[in-house]
Amino acid sequence: MPLLKTPRNKALLVILRTQDRSDVSFRESYEELKELTESALIRVLGAIEGNIHEPNPRYFIREGKLEEAKNRAKQLTANVLIFNVDLSPAQARNIEMLLKVHVMDRTGLILEIFGRRAKSKEGKLQVELAQLKYLLPRLGGLGKVMSRLGGGIGSRGPGEPELEHDRRKIRKRIQRVKEELEKVEQHRSLIRDGRKKKHFMTVAIIGYTNAGKSTLLNALTGAEAYVEDKLFATLDPMTRAASINGSTQVLFIDTVGFIRDLPHDLVESFHATLEEVRESDILLHVLDASDPHAEAQKAVVEMVLKEIDAANKKTVLVLNKEDLLDENRKKFIGSMWPAAVLVSAKQKVGLEALLERINEVCGSRKSQGKNNFTWSRHATI
């Protein structure tokens, strides 16, 4: 269930430069937040920027910048402020009370997208767990971040007995969701054991969100995974089988996209899904070679892999979207990542070279000539 019951569809973005962000990441931050906002079906009307040397404990930003945000939001008729940083529950409440406008921080925005995109029971459980953890410390506000909790702007929040009752309900629900996800994890473990007995080679397709992972899965296996040019277009992992050279049986597993500063609770909630990455034989790290921030995105993915204890897995770097590159860009990325495989998943270019590389990494016998690449459609393993 999305965090916002009624879409807050007109946003003013608040892009803040903090001491731990370089000029490059600051520029990227605006582009990323705008794309995230649009992926949440919220229209971006404008943005303001600011430098934060030391966050204000009460509002994160100074009151002068808050006044600028208030006036700009009024001018644009924006009904939500979206910050590119994470706010404490108290900071979000204080800003809402002062400006009388809805506030979302970066984590809340990502959870909103996940809530809209999750389709399977497992995906919905994982998102619900992250949402509940995010919601719990925010119950004391006026109810504008989570519209299902309270009345309109300026209304009084629930009393302390009701708040404590709500907290208990959420804690109990968190426990129940965790128990259900433990069953999911046990089920996945049994499936993985079955794959090993059948000597399947498992290849997890990972990468920054919107790098083209699902498109590559479709191209390699003939699957029909949902594809859309938006961040976090798919959340539910899909597994499809293919054979290389008619002998090596490979299972390709699509995974949720990574992103810079992926919320910790989201990583923890998607433990069962990310376990597929940890337990795979090989990782296909898909990188959007046409993106000017590709190098930074690669570093983000590698950082997340460290966080989930998968940094030492055998990895094949796949430079995707070759069809969008000019010759100069091809030469540049070729010199930067000489061991990578250049493909266009959309145009199905470079797939045989990629399959050959996978075959080599698998330790299988090299083919004499072209790969005998076959696929089985709709074969979920």
- Is residue 214 a known part of a binding site? yes
Q: How far apart are CA 361 and CA 16, in angstroms?
A: 43
- Is residue 202 a known part of a binding site? no
Looking only at the bridges linking them, the beta strands covering 239-244 and 248-254 are: antiparallel
Integer angstrom CA distances of residue 92 from 97, 105, 146: 9, 8, 11
What the block records as the tokens of 149 is 């909790």
- Is residue 374 a known part of a binding site? no
- Is residue 134 a known part of a binding site? no
What the block records as the tokens of 259 is 């992103």
- Is residue 247 a known part of a binding site? no
- Is residue 341 a known part of a binding site? no
- Is residue 322 a known part of a binding site? yes
Q: Which of 131, 40, 140 is nearest to 80 (CA)?
A: 40
- Is residue 135 a known part of a binding site? no
Inter-residue contact 339 to 331 (CB < 8 Å): no
- Is residue 213 a known part of a binding site? yes
Q: How far apart are CA 267 and CA 228, in angstroms?
A: 23
- Is residue 248 a known part of a binding site? no
Q: CB atoms < 10 A from the CB of 274, how many?
A: 25
- Is residue 141 a known part of a binding site? no
- Is residue 309 a known part of a binding site? no
- Is residue 353 a known part of a binding site? no
- Is residue 257 a known part of a binding site? yes
- Is residue 217 a known part of a binding site? no
Instruction: Kindly give, in sequence order, each residue whose CB lies less than 8 Å from that of residue 172, ignoring residues fewer than 6 positions away.
Output: none
- Is residue 9 a known part of a binding site? no
- Is residue 79 a known part of a binding site? no
- Is residue 373 a known part of a binding site? no
Q: How far apart are CA 232 and CA 266, in angstroms?
A: 13
- Is residue 255 a known part of a binding site? yes
What the block records as the tokens of 63 is 């009151």
Q: What b/e readout covers 102-115, taking b as 16+ CB neighbours within 10 angstroms?
A: bbbbbbbbbbbbbb
- Is residue 289 a known part of a binding site? no
- Is residue 157 a known part of a binding site? no
- Is residue 344 a known part of a binding site? yes
Which residues are known binding-site members for Mg(2+)? Answer: 214, 234
Which residues are known binding-site members for GTP? Answer: 207-214, 232-236, 254-257, 320-323, 344-346
Which residues are known binding-site members? Answer: 207-214, 232-236, 254-257, 320-323, 344-346
